[in-house]
Chain A
Amino acid sequence: MFESLTERLGGVFARLRGRGVLRPEDVDQALREVRIALLEADVELGVVKAFTARVRERAVGEEVLASLTPAQTVVKIVHEELVALLGGESVGLRYGEAPAGVVLVGLQGSGKTTAAGKLALFMVRQGRRPLLVAADLVRPAAVEQLRLLGERVGVPVITPLPGETAPQVAARGREEARRTARDTVVVDTAGRLQLDTALLDEAAAVVRACGAGEVLLVVDAMTGQESVRVARGFADRVPLTGVVLTKLDGDARGGAALSLRAATGLAVKFVGTGERPDALEAFHPDRIASRILGMGDVLTLIERTQAAVDPGEARELGERALGGEMDLEDFLTALRQVKRMGPLEGLLGMLPGMGALKAAREAHVDERELARMEAIVSSMTPEERRHPDILDASRRRRVARGSGTQVQDVNRLLRQFEAMRRVAREMGGLGRRLRRAGLGGRALGPGTGGAGAAGLGAPPVLPPPPPRGAGRRRRGRP
């Protein structure tokens, strides 16, 4: 159901190929698809209408370049307008004079307490000295939750004394920060409805009490059409400065980010991307735009790959593989690199045309399978890893016992490894033959090994086909 907008528009425009200019009726038809895509991504209806009106204005009469299909032209305009609307670049926190205050407010269950812990860790890594303040006096054990999170990220937590009100705790937090030379106070508050003016005024009092320069509205990425009303309700009585969008590691499309920005002017400053304390990232408008359109997030994927893979290690690995010398040690290295890149289902979700939902169901990637494979290889002796051929039945039984798996699992891993090695060897041989024949040997450099099986059937000297949605190519002709 979450097919990409590009594919949908491709269908709409299939009959229109070859026309030079987009006519109003073509654009209207396309915009109906855009509307549904945005609504499915939970962009607020009012925002959707204003947005499609703007896109229509731009798209009508737009030249359809020879190299692009009309669908891609519309998608390009939609994408550009989305990014423009979301704000050009990411906005960080403005701290101001120490001790700076950052207050988190939001509905119940939006993720304020977790976000507070993550923000504190984020600040520590920026070289700041934050202090956490637990000013949620309503939810049972909320104070205890923040205290534990503070412990985990190594940041002290101010907890309320009996009889203290939320603004009083916040004020005491600020004093404590001064006294102990902490430069930032991060205040967690109780969840409240935007309809509850008395509680909103209390939140405003908390903001005043700790002299906060940043007041962040914490919003669940799965929020539907209410996002705008919620934000307006809070903004009416509390001086909001930005948004934290939480739980974006699932398959929610996060249309709320667009709605909030468009309807209230509030910028999303951070996104929560997991349950670990370090799963908080700066917000990149262009990336969420692609996600809303179901076009994947290739940039983040590339970034994570670069962060996780050591280039020297990767090159060596590739060369050994192509030379047919790959052994289980190399296999283990590769496994660990993949693991460092983060949850696989998240990675798949970043690929264009591959909604996380679809990936989870069909590709069926199991994190534990990786762990199992690592355990099996780790249970082998160095000798066995270098020469897998010596793994006879008795050794395989021992490896299975050592790794907590079955002999069949060990056998399967060895079969998979053998298949990989064969493909890599063939690729390497092909590359060497081509080079000898004076044909572009670089086409099969290290790194193509992974895509090898598919590449073998194609004409060898052609570069791999561009990924889907390649209309957004960066290196265009001058």
Chain B
Amino acid sequence: MEEAVRPPAGGRGLGRLAAALSRTRAALGDRLADLFGAGSVSARDLEELEEVLIAGDVGAEVASALVERVREARPGRGEDVRSALARAVAEAMGPAEPLRHAAAPPTIWVLVGVNGSGKTTTAGKLAAQAAARGERVLLAAADTFRAAAGEQLAVWAERAGADLVRGAPGADPAAVVFDSVRAARARRVDVVVVDTAGRLQTKEPLMAELGKIVRVIGREAPGAPHECLLVLDATVGQNALSQARLFGQAADVTGIVLAKMDSSARGGAALAVRHALGLPVRLVGTGEGAGDLEPFDPLAYARGLVGASDGGAGEA
């Protein structure tokens, strides 16, 4: 049996996300307001609406499908179009799902992704938040390839007051993971966060290595990993589909972390991924501090994506 994790402390985090999203929403809202300010919606307007979605990295195919859904809803005034579109996006993203925990500790979460997507920072934030909830946390530095990746995670471990298991540079990451799981049991750790090396999804040997890491975890702790999260950079374009597909094949990805959502990017690629592969977004990264990682809020995401002006994440 698996039990849902409590979302990290509420109001303040959501406020920050709302602020981050509103930066882009302002510009977008204006554009949409121009389109739908008054009167009925023409075919030309819908075409431009589609372009707003494409400009958010949703991809041509999904954008056209969503606009079709809005057209069927027959909105009359601009505001309706926006809400209809936001609703359609939120619906497509599915309800927010919290991270899964093990019935009996240790819970093991693995972070995977391409180089520079934000895995190590996400690992550090996850560890810090779990530690702040009073859980005993172990960070596993399974990135033995990139220069100083272990050091970067060590800084996070110290900030969070988490244990750290790391291997020598160039060591077998599967061995680091093996040691981590053993250590977690011996030390009665609640949560293990595994940071893996960044890799491009087309590098087959590296993807096989990732598969091995996940298998070793499953062998040492049946039922684990409880989450295998693909970290996507919010600015990523259509390559996100290839990433999700190939990482999914290699490592049984269970969800998405949308990192760097404090940028001007709206992270529409996550919608493309959800549409094509059904992978849910679990967490959203909004900055470089330990608190800047929040549970995914479909409505806030949808509003940021389409530039809906009414309210914000705060009331969602």
A interface with B by C-beta (< 8 Å): 1, 36, 39-42, 44-45, 107-111, 114, 138-142, 144-145, 147-149, 152, 193-195, 220, 222-227, 229-230, 233, 246-247, 249-253, 255-256, 275, 343, 345, 349, 356-357, 360, 365-368
Contact = CB atoms under 8 A, between A and B. Distances in A.
A45 B148 CA distance: 38
B141 to A, nearest CB: 11
Contact of A225 (B55, B151, B156, B201): B55
Interface in B217-241: 233, 235-241
Contact of A140 (B116, B118, B156): B156
Contact of A247 (B57, B115, B260): B115
Contacts of A246: 116
Contacts of B205: 366-368
Contact of B235 (A142, A223, A247, A366): A223
B60 interface: yes
Interface in B176-211: 200-205
B263 A107 contact: yes
Given A141-B155, A224-B236, 16 more contacts: A1-B241, A39-B59, A109-B233, A141-B154, A142-B148, A222-B233, A224-B238, A226-B265, A250-B114, A253-B239, A255-B237, A345-B202, A357-B202, A360-B204, A365-B204, A366-B204
Interface string B112-148: 0011111000001000000000000000000001111
Nearest to B233: A109
23 contacts: A40-B60, A45-B51, A45-B55, A109-B260, A140-B156, A141-B151, A144-B151, A145-B149, A145-B151, A145-B152, A148-B148, A152-B147, A195-B23, A223-B235, A225-B57, A225-B237, A226-B265, A230-B263, A246-B116, A247-B116, A250-B203, A343-B203, A368-B205
B35 interface: no
Contacts of A194: 263-264
B273 to A, nearest CB: 12
B269 interface: yes
Contacts of A39: 54, 59-60, 238
B148 A141 contact: yes
B201 A250 contact: yes
Nearest to B158: A140
A397 to B, nearest CB: 27
B260 A40 contact: no
A246 B198 CA distance: 14
B68 interface: no
B131 to A, nearest CB: 16
Nearest to A42: B237
Nearest to B56: A225
A195 B114 CA distance: 24
Contacts of B147: 144-145, 148-149, 152
Contacts of A225: 54-57, 237, 268
6 closest A-B pairs by CB: A224-B237, A109-B116, A42-B237, A140-B155, A250-B200, A145-B148
Contacts of A111: 115-116
A223 B237 contact: yes
Given A141-B155, A222-B237, A108 B260 contact: yes
Nearest to B272: A224
B114, B148, B156, B264, most chain A CB atoms within 10 A:
B148
Contacts of A252: 237, 239
A447 to B, nearest CB: 28
A175 B157 CA distance: 36
B203 to A, nearest CB: 7
Nearest to B197: A275
A224 B57 contact: yes
Nearest to B200: A250
B155 to A, nearest CB: 4
B263 A193 contact: yes
B231 to A, nearest CB: 10
A40 B62 CA distance: 12
A453 B3 CA distance: 59
A251 B148 contact: no
A223 B233 CA distance: 9
B297 interface: no
A383 to B, nearest CB: 33
Nearest to B63: A39
Contacts of B145: 275
B115 A145 contact: no
| From A40, A108, A256, residue with most partner B Cβ within 10 Å | A108
A220 B116 contact: yes
Contacts of A366: 204-205
Contacts of A356: 202
Contacts of A357: 202, 242, 246
B91 interface: no
B262 interface: yes
Given A36-B60, A223-B236, A230 B152 contact: no
B288 interface: yes
Nearest to A221: B239
Interface in B55-76: 55-57, 59-60
B262 A193 contact: yes
